[in-house]
Structure 1
């Protein structure tokens, strides 16, 4: 899910990698083709602010090797990389997004043969299913995805202590939690639906368990035309989202509250928490440095063991299928996927490693997210596997219309089905 202004999130808003990259900029010159020099690697990256440390560490670990790299904002990069690939001037290694959502996404680049198959690399078999799904095309891995983020409930521990409440782990307890919080004059969750990309987050948290808890192959069935939004557990998830609203789980007038204001509510204890991605924790700490904030799964059933979390793979790295520097290119992506490489990235970006057992010291606020990831109890952000961006745009605007009383869940899911069937 990448944040678009004002319309959508896509592969990784999630990904602090993108947020860091969007300011643009260029480093270290040449981004041309691989050339013949086995000691010089060319690289194009959107990870401005974090790729620098990774390059330094890689060069230090490989004396005599020089990485010539460029960094740029996501939009500029996506426009350039396809032109470079088709003209034979692309670098040895390049940023690649998960899934199928933009011009530099895994499926889009792998389908015409622009990327080298990385399935033979040791880390490929270790990827959790939620990451593997969006790193592959036709069952082969093309993207070295090093980090991920999750969506859930982020609680203000001081506000929770003051209210005398604890995080719920079942659907029944969640509704009771909302009622108790409302009775104490402090709504459970801040919701900034004035920014339409926020509207999807609580819904995605519900969908993860209600839809994929019953059927991990739901996306494959959608792609095969054997399932729809309107005739699936998406109806249950959307009903639960509306039930939360009717129960008073959110502050008054979510449509009149933007993302920034919702952060302020949660950070200062005006609400007990916020339903967001783990990336919001750093923002909450910025508004309340003395505060302590903890990420927890948002339950959608009364079986805690069945709860799943939406987890988004961030942008990773692919190898140019026509590189003349294959050995060095593979060495670089393998370094990215090593414990050292992943740790360098996620420390800078505020995420979590894509692979388990890296030795990374997880921030205590993200312990539960890390536990779910290690237990393979996550599913991709839903839009990463949709055939076009229109489905998500329809969902976001439709959710705002539902909150304003201008649409209904049935109408919205029907419209999403129509956009999905239109294909790419």
Structure 2
């Protein structure tokens, strides 16, 4: 009995040793697929939720973000205060951020910006004008369609910031060109805003008779030249209110009767002495001074001039648009400045927050006061000057159209500027001039966003 019990114990011990030996020589589950599949799965740890402290620490990181512009001059108290408030707003979220304001002055702003974007050396956030389609096509801009303000863009400005169904920029301010005049000169001579082009010529004759230059502008600086034919665009709209669409679909041409009538009107102004004889050598600042001092009665300009004249010269300006022979009198407007985010900026959230600071209503509204209007429907910009109020009334009462800078490529605008200069020097525009502009349009209309 004892022997049998011992034998059973021995047998059990031997079997146990065999099992232990087998387990010791077995391959690991990672080495055998069957073992891995039969092994119990390891318990996966739940993903960690970022603590509020982590986000706060990220916001407190030191970093640099650059903003390129042409319109923010720190010597201008209004612009200086705007930049100061933007920095305070941004640093409330990112206290250690360094904001680098990158001013690029002069006519070559967009050429330089385009070159910087192409070489990936451009600023992180940048203002631009009439360049969104080209920049978006090249992949230079970040998609901002998901931003809260994207659903509040004014319909008249949406075409300037949207491409391919996506929003690539925010319209900071909207304004347009027309005739701003010295209200005292008009009052002294008993003049009122004209209802036809002939009335405009007639009141100009009365101004000349008083020894005052009727119309001046700062052609020497280049950029104001377009404002003159922008201000006469009712001759084009009067002939075809849908000229932008018809040019794009090929049913109308730049060398057609619409633009010919516009330049004929400008040539009549030059020949009748309505346009200053020294307009080609006059700077923008001098033209503004001449109107403010009553040496000239009118100038082609935008609402941005109102607060400057009111502050520096204590003079009230009025505003009207020049009608065509039939009294067609649309008011045009365009986005003056769009802000976009560089597609190569590594932290999109920080870039978006900078844009949100730039367009914060409490910050932007005082900056635009008396000079322009917001491109968003989220707030109203107040205008205290008479010129600003009259411009605002014109936008509210007159039918609006897109400014030519929206529906003409930059190359065409430049050629039309050259024609304006040519007429101002006493020459006439030829068919060849208009043919060249039409060829430029056909070549470059792909840059436009006409819907």
Do Structure 1 and Structure 2 share a fold, with TM-score over 0.5? Answer: yes
Asked which structure has the greater CA Rg, the reply is: 2
Q: Which moved more, 1:359-368 or 1:157-166?
A: 359-368
In structure 2, list runs of 5 or more residues that go unmatched: 1-56
Q: Are the counterparts in 2 of residues 156 and 267 from structure 1 also a CA contact under 8 Å? A: yes
- Superposed CA offset, 1:23-44 (max 9, x none): xxxxxxxxxxxxx945667342
Contact 2:218-2:287 at 8 Å conserved across structures: yes
Relative to 1, partners in 2 of residues 1:331 and 1:202: Cα closer, same or farther, differing over 3 Å?
same
CA deviation vs aligned residue, 1:8-67 (integer Å, no higher than 9, x gap): xxxxxxxxxxxxxxxxxxxxxxxxxxxx9456673423245346224234236x445554
Aligned pairs for 1:149-160 (under 5 A) are 149-160=175-186
Residue matched to 1:289 = 313
Distance in 2 separating the partners of 1:54 and 1:145: 19
Match of 2:404 among 370, 376, 382: 382
1:416 to 431, 437, 445: 437
In the TM superposition, residue 301 of structure 1 has moved relative to its aligned partner by 5.1
Alignment of 1:165-314 (within 5 A): 165-193=191-219, 197-207=223-233, 209-212=234-237, 217-252=242-277, 254-255=279-280, 257-282=282-307, 284-285=309-310, 289-300=313-324, 302-303=326-327, 307-314=329-336
Structure 1 unaligned runs (5+)?
1-35, 100-104
Q: What is the rounded CA distance, in whole Å, between the counterparts of 2:414 and 2:272 in structure 1?
A: 27
Matched, 1:406 2:432: no
Question: Contact 1:135–1:143 (CA<8 Å) still a contact in 2?
Answer: yes
* Higher normalized contact order (CA 8 Å, seq sep 6+, divided by chain length): 1
Structure 1 window deviating more from structure 2 (136-145 vs 120-129): it is 120-129
Distance 1:72 1:377 in 2: 38
TM-score normalized by the length of structure 2 = 0.70
**1:404 to 1:346, Cα distance in 2 relative to 1, 3 A:** same
- Higher deviation after alignment, 265-274 or 332-341: 332-341
User: In structure 2, what is the equivalent of residue 115 of structure 1?
Assistant: 141
> Shift of the alpha carbon at 1:94?
0.9
* Counterpart pick for 1:74 among 94, 101, 104: 104
In structure 1, what is the Cα distance between the partners aligned to 2:380 and 2:218?
Answer: 36
1:94 is aligned, of 117, 125, 143, to: 125
Cα distance in 1 for partners of 2:114, 2:419 equals 33
The reply on whether 1:366 has 2:388 as its aligned counterpart is yes
Q: How many Å separate the matches in 2 of 1:162 and 1:415?
A: 45
Q: Is the 8 A contact 2:128 2:337 kept in 1?
A: yes
- Please say if residues 235 and 323 of structure 2, whose CA atoms lie closer than 8 Å, have aligned partners that are also in contact: no
Deviations 1:153-173 (A, max 9, x none): 111112122212122243343
Note if 1:393 corresponds to 2:414. yes
Q: For residue 68 of structure 2, what is the aligned residue in structure 1? A: 45
8 Å contact 1:199–1:399 — kept in the other structure? yes
Q: 1:332 to 1:193 in 2, by over 3 A?
A: closer
Q: Tell me the residue number matched to 1:326.
A: 348
Conserved 8 A contact 1:150-1:369: no
CA change 1:268–1:334 in 2 (3 A) is same
Structure 1, residues 172-227: CA drift from partner, whole Å, max 9, x if none? 432222233233333432245555544432211111x3334665653344344443
**Aligned residue for 2:161?**
135
Q: Identify if the C-alpha distance between structure 1 residues 112 and 363 changes in structure 2 by more than 3 Å, giving closer, same or farther.
A: same
Q: Distance in 1 between matches of 2:336 and 2:222?
A: 21
Which TM-score applies when normalising by structure 1? 0.74
Instruction: Give distance in 1, aligned partners of 2:278 and 2:209.
Output: 18
Distance 1:277 1:410, change over 3 A: farther
Deviation of residue 326 (structure 1)?
Answer: 3.2
Alpha-carbon offset, residue 407 of structure 1: 3.3
Show CA shifts across 1:339-396 (max 9, x none): 224215425x94332234624321322113234446794444424544443x333322
Structure number having the greater helix percentage:
2
State the partner residue of 1:3: none
Name the CA distance, whole Å, in 2 between partners of 1:248 and 1:289: 27
For residue 95 of structure 1, report the CA deviation from its aligned partner.
0.8
Q: Distance in 2 between matches of 1:323 and 1:37?
A: 17
